């Protein structure tokens, strides 16, 4: 009976070890951040963004993605980070979570990686308060710290909706 229990525990541990998460690693200024891969539907180069008069500063406008119109928001402005110019490396990540969909402008997309779920650690307590509420955890990529965002929490803040 003890052996059976031990075997079940081993299986559970293996399953836990095998649980993996896809992360879209991107940069903002000098730092790395990530979105959970399943929340990101597409990554695009920055094309024409049509400004919509009357929108708040952090909404850059709308884009045409193969006939579908998506809003684009500037995560720098949203998080209170300094502005940056759109450059060749800039990318648009189309995020979709909890029935909210929008494109998000980031400085660059560095990589899409698959990591063990347990490699994402709880966020450090000294994390900037302005972003703390949107963070699910931290991991490392190329020996640099990566702050993992929950897009759903960003959308909740933007739409004023809670789950």
Partner 1 sequence: MTEIGNRELKEIDLIIFKIMGVVLGIDIEQISQIREPDHVEAEDVNIFAFHQKIPFRENKVLYKSPKILFIKDEWPASGIIIDQPEEIISIKTGSIQPLPQLIKKFNRSTPIWGVVPRGEEIILLIDLCRLLKSKTGT
Closest-CA residue to 75 (of 85, 83, 65): 83
Which residues within the stretch 144-163 sit at the binding site for partner 1 (CB under 8 A)?
Answer: 158-160
C-beta of 63 vs 109, nearer to partner 1? 63
Q: Residue 105 — φ and ψ, nearest 5°?
A: -85, 125
Q: Is 46 in the site for partner 1 (CB under 8 A)?
A: no
To partner 1, the closest distance from the beta carbon of 144 in angstroms equals: 30
Closest-CA residue to 146 (of 156, 155, 135): 135
Closest-CA residue to 46 (of 79, 81, 84): 84
The strand pairing partners of 144, in sequence order, are 141
- 162 within 8 A of 156, measured Cβ to Cβ: yes
Separation of alpha carbons 95 and 162, rounded Å: 17
List the structure tokens of 39.
Answer: 């929340």
- Number of residues forming the site for partner 1 (CB under 8 A): 26
Q: Is 14 in the site for partner 1 (CB under 8 A)?
A: no
| Residue in 2, 47, 82, 122 binding partner 1, rule: CB under 8 A | 47
| Residue in 52, 117, 124, 127 binding partner 1, rule: CB under 8 A | 52
Q: Is 45 in the site for partner 1 (CB under 8 A)?
A: no
To partner 1, the closest distance from the beta carbon of 27 in angstroms equals: 23
Q: x/- binding map, residues 64-103, to partner 1, per CB under 8 A?
A: x--xxxxx-x--------------------------xxx-
């Amino acid at each position: 009976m003890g052996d059976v229990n031990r075997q079940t525990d081993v299986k559970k541990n293996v399953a836990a070890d095998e649980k993996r998460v896809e992360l879209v690693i991107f940069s903002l200024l000098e730092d790395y951040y990530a979105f959970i891969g399943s929340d990101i539907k597409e990554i695009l180069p920055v094309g024409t963004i049509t400004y919509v008069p009357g929108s708040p500063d952090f909404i850059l406008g709308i884009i045409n993605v193969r006939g579908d119109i998506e809003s684009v928001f500037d995560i720098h402005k949203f998080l209170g980070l300094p502005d940056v110019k759109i450059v060749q490396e800039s990318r648009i990540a189309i995020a979709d979570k909890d029935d909210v969909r929008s494109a998000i402008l980031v400085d660059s997309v560095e990589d899409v990686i698959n990591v063990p779920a347990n490699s994402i650690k709880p966020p450090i307590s000294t994390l900037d308060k302005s972003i703390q509420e949107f963070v699910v955890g931290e991991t490392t990529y190329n020996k640099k710290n990566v702050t993992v965002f929950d897009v759903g929490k960003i959308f909740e803040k933007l739409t004023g909706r809670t789950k």
